[in-house]
Amino acid sequence: MGIFRKKNQEPDNQSDDEFDEEEEQRPLILFQGATNGKNANIAAYARLAEAGLIPAKELVTDGVLRRAELVKLDVKGERALINFQIDGLNYKGHRLSKQHAAAITQMLKLLSGLDVKERAKPQRGGIRAEFEEKKYEVEVVTKPVGKGVERLQLNIKDLAISLETPDDLGFSAEFKGKVRSATESKGLVIACGPPGSGTTTTAMAMLRCIDGYVYSVFTIADMMGRDIANVVPFEVNEGDELPQTIARLVRNEADVVFIDPLRSPEMAKTVLELSRQVTFMAELNAKDSIHAIHQLIKASGDPEMVSERVNCIVTQKLVRKLCEGCKMAFRPNPKILEKVGLPVETRVLYHPPPKPTGDEEDEEVPEQCTECLGLGYRGRVGMYEFIEFTDELRAAIQQGSSANDLKAIVKKARMQTLQRDGIRLVGEGKTSLEELQRVFRSKK
Ligand SMILES: [Zn+2]
């Protein structure tokens, strides 16, 4: 039986109908070994394999076919519910019995080299997989929820999709140029965003924008296994505090230093002080640039230092891309164009196809799009905010201006805000106005 349904998918739309079991044999994912090298001894778990192997493959295959980045299996009472996260949105899958869910969980633990007998501690492993000649890595995460029951989470990574370079992330030539010039004078360059929003990836792509032939770029941060050609890892001496390390980096003629995220107010203050000597690039957990400015002021207690030492703040937020297979053009109302700030001469914008209402008996119901499976969107793209510290903005920060006053300055200077960059994507037909509204309404 399959979990995958060719049905219009609505986020969080619970559907209780039993589905048909008529489905014929379909191709299933191939599991190719645990990422930790501990290959499963399936023979020793023959009964588990009999109960769990095919359902486990079906679950992962469904995740891959639906392009889910995350699949969750939550046990509640005697039932378990599958949840798919696709491009950041949750979609409910069908329900399973508790036993069925346990067999899948145990099987995936076995295949990812985890301890099958251990149900009381959280575990994390991975499986290499292949489906239709494409390679995937499935991270298997289990968490005990009591009474020997575990919650299963699968993070599915399509290995063909690379999100590393500025081009992968959709940085425009103008944006790359701005990042480059912001690193040319000593100070602090900040990448901010909420946790789990890809800020680290953005910060590292910003590092790649710097010309390695002209500037010496060093890192003392955890690079998460990434090796960037123009960035040299620098060994921190045991027991050395940040000021000592920076002094050594200055002796090594460092221009730009990538450091760990500014997690504490003390660290933020120290980095602001040291940024007279080099250019720092760091992450900060803040929902947008104006919040980041206020966090830095609070951390340092010194608005003047913040205004002088910060070169720029970049914030990123993801928005879903309209599906190229089914997006529909429409002629926008000039009033709307004016309201959202698009040129009034814009002839065409796009929206996803309308969802079938179920009342289309007389009309022809369009075939579901095979590219997005009826979601109307496929993949995501970043919106980038680039707040440059102009003289006017610096003066306002020194005077302790409110968030609204700072926003007004940013707007007046026509800086690249998240909203403005999002509207650009709408104008280019990459996303829709309704998707933009959804993203800005969401708390995440
Ligand atoms: Zn489509």
Residue 20 and residue 72: Cα distance in Å, rounded? 23
Centre of ligand 1 to C-alpha 15, Å, is 22
Centre of ligand 1 to C-alpha 318, Å, is 19
pLDDT in tens, 177-195: 999 999 999 999 999 987 7
Residue 48 and residue 56: Cα distance in Å, rounded? 11
6: Cβ–Cβ under 8 A, 6 or more apart, which residues? 368, 373
DSSP-derived secondary structure letter, 442: S
pLDDT for residue 1: 43
Centre of ligand 1 to C-alpha 66, Å, is 12
Centre of ligand 1 to C-alpha 43, Å, is 43
Centre of ligand 1 to C-alpha 322, Å, is 8
Q: Name the most confidently modeled range: 161-170, 190-199, 213-222, 364-373.
A: 213-222
pLDDT in tens, 58-110: 999 999 999 999 999 999 989 999 999 999 999 999 999 999 999 999 999 99
DSSP string, 10-50: -TT----------------PEEEEETTS----GGGGHHHHH
385 and 315 Cβ atoms separated by less than 8 Å: yes
Centre of ligand 1 to C-alpha 369, Å, is 4
Strand extents, DSSP E, 372-416? 377-388
Centre of ligand 1 to C-alpha 372, Å, is 4
3-state secondary structure (DSSP) of residue 412: helix
Share of the chain above pLDDT 70, in %: 92
pLDDT for residue 353: 94
**30-158: CATH topology:** Beta-Lactamase (3.30.450)
Checking if the pLDDT of 359 tops 90, the result is no
Res. 365 pLDDT band, cuts 50 70 90? low
Instruction: Calculate the average pLDDT of the chain.
Output: 90
pTM as predicted: 0.83
- Mean pLDDT in residue range 242-268: 95
Domain 173-321+350-441 has CATH 3.40.50.300: yes
All structural domains of the chain with their residue ranges: 30-158, 173-321+350-441
Q: Return the ∠ at Cα 299 (arms to 295 and 302), rounded to 5°.
A: 100
Checking if the pLDDT of 259 tops 80, the result is yes
DSSP-derived secondary structure letter, 2: -
Centre of ligand 1 to C-alpha 353, Å, is 8
Centre of ligand 1 to C-alpha 352, Å, is 8
